């Protein structure tokens, strides 16, 4: 009987490396596909784009690592450029959201438009029966479930992927704990076994974020204002460099008080801060969410939700509107941020979600957000 063919996204990291091993153990014919989604030369030479000591950009290091893993596992590796698609569908969105004072999550859009769309189409050209990635998530009976390793669960980042896109998708390490993934990589003596997890913007990687953005959005310094007293207490380096709830990097001298970003006024170029993490300005009780991608069978009126990746799930009430949903959390929540994803859950089942359009309190849109 002919083996089923799986095309797996090989990122040059330990997770996709071990996912490929698991697929081989399960009897699939495995083909690797490396995505090149960012042209490091487009950065210019002024943003401190990272390189290794040998002067190689991390993307090429990742490709070389993926190649070595595939050679060791005796699986072919293809390479495909999605640089234009990434720019058109992910990075342009990212920049527009920043210009509008919001805090976007490009990794979510990368999954929607690149990994589970462009990549999938390329995989089908290679004759794939399935596609696979190294995501920490599970699929059972067409439902997206949290990973067994709750510390690594990535369903938040998969919340904009449609039901149709999840067809014929495999998440080989969704039932595994991260230490066990590394253990297998060490047993196979893979070059990625002890490689640290990637952080930063999807495919762009770790770098000085402020310097990087200056290539695309010029900084416009302005006043930092205490929202309680309306007093100017410092200068910001450009509103795009801050997010709601941020505490570090404000560079406000002369005080030991804990300060948090609480709002932005784009027209006046003002960054508002508050004193104390329990400040009333920082706490809201509802938000309007659009760009809804619902993965459940029926719309629910109550469920759990999270507004940031590392946040605990909290109980919410949902009021469904035409193309939006009003998410209510009467108990209050800190630092809910326009542009971030609001993701719904029923236990371990991810019901999808949307993008936070506006934040409210006492049924009113907040003037400072």
110 part of the active site: yes
**Rounded distance between C-alpha atoms, residue 210 and residue 123, angstroms:** 36
> How, if at all, do strands 341-346 and 302-306 pair?
antiparallel
Nearest to 350 by CA among 105, 110, 143, 161: 143
Alpha-carbon distance values, 358 to 28, 175, 311, 364 (Å): 46, 36, 19, 10
Residue 76 exposure: Cα atoms within 13 Å on the Cβ side: 9
Catalytic: which of 202, 274, 303, 342? 202
**Rounded distance between C-alpha atoms, residue 309 and residue 303, angstroms:** 17
Give exposure, 267-302, as e/b (b: 16+ Cβ within 10 Å): eeebbbbbbeeebebbbbbbbbbebbbbbbeeeeee
Name beta bridge partners: 265: 270
3 state SS for 166-207: CCCEECCCCCCCHHHHHHHHHHCCCCCCCCCCCCCECCCECC
Catalytic: which of 57, 70, 110, 350? 110
Residue 195 exposure: Cα atoms within 13 Å on the Cβ side: 22
By annotation, the residues acting in catalysis are: 110, 202
């Amino acid at each position: 009987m002919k083996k089923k063919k799986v095309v797996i996204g090989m990122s040059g990291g330990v997770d996709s490396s071990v996912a490929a091993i698991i697929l081989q153990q399960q009897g699939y014919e495995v083909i690797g596909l490396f995505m090149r989604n960012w042209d490091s030369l487009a950065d210019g030479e002024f943003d401190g784009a990272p390189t290794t000591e040998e002067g190689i950009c991390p993307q090429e290091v990742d490709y070389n690592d993926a190649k070595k893993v595939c050679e060791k596992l005796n699986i072919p590796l293809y390479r495909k450029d999605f640089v234009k698609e990434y720019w058109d569908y992910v990075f342009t969105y990212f920049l527009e959201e920043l210009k509008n004072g919001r805090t976007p999550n490009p990794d979510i859009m990368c999954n929607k438009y690149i990994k589970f769309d462009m990549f999938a189409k390329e995989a089908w050209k290679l004759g794939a029966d399935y596609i696979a990635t190294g995501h920490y998530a599970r699929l059972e009976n067409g439902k997206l479930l949290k990973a067994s390793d709750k510390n690594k669960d990535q369903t938040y980042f998969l919340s904009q992927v449609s039901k149709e896109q999840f067809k014929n998708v495999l998440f080989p390490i969704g039932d595994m704990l991260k230490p066990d993934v590394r253990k297998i990589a060490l047993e196979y003596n893979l070059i990625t076994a002890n490689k640290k997890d990637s952080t930063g913007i999807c495919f762009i990687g770790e770098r000085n974020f402020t310097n990087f953005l200056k290539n695309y959005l010029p900084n416009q310094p302005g006043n930092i204002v205490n929202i309680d007293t309306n007093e100017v207490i410092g200068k910001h380096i450009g509103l795009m460099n801050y997010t709601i709830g941020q505490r570090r990097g404000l560079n406000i001298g002369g005080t030991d008080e804990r300060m948090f970003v609480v709002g932005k006024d784009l027209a006046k170029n003002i960054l508002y801060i508050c004193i104390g993490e329990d400040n009333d300005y920082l706490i809201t009780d509802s938000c309007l969410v659009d760009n809804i991608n619902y993965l459940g069978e029926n719309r629910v009126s109550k469920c759990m939700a999270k507004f940031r990746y590392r946040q605990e799930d909290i109980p919410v009430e949902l009021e469904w509107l035409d193309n939006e949903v009003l998410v209510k959390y009467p108990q209050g929540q800190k630092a809910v941020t326009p542009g971030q994803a609001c993701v719904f859950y029923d236990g371990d089942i991810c019901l999808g979600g949307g993008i936070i359009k506006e934040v409210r309190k006492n049924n009113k849109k907040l003037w400072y957000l």
